[in-house]
Structure 1
Amino acid sequence: MAVDVMPVDVAIVGGSYAGLSAALQLARARRSVVVVDAGARRNRFAESSHGFLSRDGEAPAAIAAHGREQLLAYPNVRFVEGTADTAGRDGANLVVSVQGENIAARRLILATGVVDELPSIPGLQERWGRAVFHCPYCHGYELGQGRIGVLATGEHSFHQAMMLPDWGPTILFANEAFEPDAAQAAMLEARGVEIERERVVAVDGAKASVVLDGGRSVSLEGLFVASRTRMASDLPAALGCEFEDGPLGPYIRTNEAKETSVEGIYACGDAARGAGSVSHAVGDGVTAAVAAHKSLIFGVH
């Protein structure tokens, strides 16, 4: 994977919110940056994004596009469209291969994101990000205190069901995936959460109408599900990064500076935390970029 060109200071794999935020800090430090972007943001299914200061309610694509436009005003930043296929070391440098082009960098930031894996229930995937959600802080307010459902996927669904009554009357669909114990059932009752134990066979309707095994349908303003996640890219594992086992899936292990277990490699955004949002991703990007920049100056990692 050897290259003959002068390495850039930092290569960033992932051009969504975390990657853009990291690139901005490094650009302003007058460091050379290459951002590799496959264009598949995790929240691309949502019509609007909420909770990010000054951009509340805007379309996710518009937020990302505006950030990219601002970033490209810096002459020391280059974007490469495509998927990073492989990565490895070439002496002191890290090299990322993108559709035949090898990009050498002194430091590497992984902002590769995750993929949501939903239960195999007809109608669920089609409504993801529009009437089926995972984060109440991102989408709960817009449901107008209407009736909300929680589709259980495991133990974590208890936590989700306990939170959601602040946004509207809540029904927990146990769906043979979670059965609260006596203490949990008492806590759910105290929060006013109904428990529906009949199996869910489909989701339909203009919003999120849950169809039960016996044919009964429950109309909702929105349905929340704690989706499992997996890495969107094989690069972190291929580079030898260590992982943490989160309640909803693995994520890249980092220290407080967002450095991974591999020297010179940093990670930020949803790939490097147990739960995410646009605000968290942007903050993580800043932390990873500042740490990478300092390591270029002081030679510590």
Structure 2
Amino acid sequence: MVYDVVIVGGSYAGLSAGLQLARGRRKVLVIDAGLRRNRFAQHSHGFLGQDGRAPGDIAAQARAQLLAYPTVEWVDQSAVKAGQCAEGFAVVTADEQRFAARRLIIATGMVDVLPEIPGLAERWGKHVFHCPYCHGYELDGGPIGVLAATQVALHQALMLPDWGPTTLFLNGVFEPDAEQLASLEKRGVTLERERVVSISGHANITLASGRVVELAGVFTQPHMHMASPLPVQLGCEFEAGPMGDFIKVNATRETSVPGVFACGDAAVAAGNVAIAVGDGARTGSAAHQSLIFR
């Protein structure tokens, strides 16, 4: 069988793309390894109509709704190889199944590489975050820490005072220049230059001197890389993002490889459920129209 579209990645962007194609009565296959990027978070916020729900519940409901369409199939596997073939594109899974399609959508997301601070990883998605819009409100105006891992920390530190009194822990990553210092002072951000040793308790940062700073939550900037080898295998071009490269797409969400589309975190320098769903919808409809007008 040759599918109209194979979607690699069945999280929010991939599900949304699939829904547009299913409603266009196209034959769709979703291949998904079951590793949502936000699987560490207990609640999802900022997504209209779903605010405060568990991320897994949102994804499970969306999957059930998508699979209610008779032209959609699903394979619970990792896609490990992809390339062009006579039918269009071929995708091979970890268990050596081969699937062919006229179009391919990459919705595999990103992997977060966290700062190597003891106690941080186990609090990721619970008390340590990356997105103020997703988690800032729930801190109830309490003290917030920004742990610098990249210079994007400056951007976070300037934003977060809207959610609570903010301390920027530079941790030796960079030193703000005079203009940046003035901006931080204007926003009321406290600077901390002591090295961060660990995070403990709820979200308490221990400094090299032994001093402990108690916080309602901590924000940081993980480095990111592609969750899948497929974009490189296919020859897709990339763009440099502030915390890692992402797939370059045009206005119709098509990559530099004709017939290959990309959506969600892998193609947008932002990690947010609402943005991923919107981007998936755009991508699914664009892939559908490419089947008609080419």
Name 1:261's counterpart in structure 2. 256
Note the 1:12-23 alignment, pairs <5 A: 12-23=7-18
Select which of 11, 19, 22 maps to 1:24: 19
- 1-structure distance, mates of 2:228, 2:15: 17
Q: How does 1:146-295 map to 2 (within 5 A)?
A: 146-205=142-201, 207-295=202-290
User: For 2:64, which of 52, 57, 69 is the aligned residue?
Assistant: 69
Q: Tell me the distance in 1 between the aligned counterparts of 2:198 and 2:27.
A: 50
Q: Letter of the 1:171 partner, please give it.
A: T
Match of 1:296, SS state, is helix
The Cα shift of 1:154 comes to 2.1
Query: Higher mean Cα deviation, 58-67 or 88-97?
Result: 88-97
Q: Which deviates more, 259-268 or 81-90?
A: 81-90
CA distance in structure 2 between the partners assigned to 1:253 and 1:131 by the alignment: 32
Misfit runs of 4+, over 4 Å:
none
Aligned-pair RMSD on alpha carbons?
0.6
Distance of 2:193 and 2:156 partners within structure 1: 17
Q: Which runs of no fewer than 5 residues in structure 1 stay unpaired?
A: 1-5
Q: Structure 2 residue aligned with 1:126, among 118, 122, 128?
A: 122
> Aligned equivalents of 1:184 and 1:96: distance in 2?
48
* 1:16-62: CA deviation from partner (whole Å, max 9, x where unpaired): 00000000000000000000010000000000000000000000000
Paired residue type of 1:138: C
TM-score calculated relative to the size of structure 1? 0.96
Any gaps of 5 or more consecutive residues in structure 2?
Answer: none
Query: How far does residue 89 in structure 1 lie from its aligned partner after superposition?
Result: 1.4
Q: For this pair of structures, how many residues does the alignment match?
A: 293
Distance apart, 1:92 and its partner CA: 4.0
Contact 2:128 2:218 in 1 (8 A): yes
Cα deviation code 1:244-264 (max 9, x no counterpart):
011110000000110000010
Contact 2:87/2:100 (<8 A) preserved: no
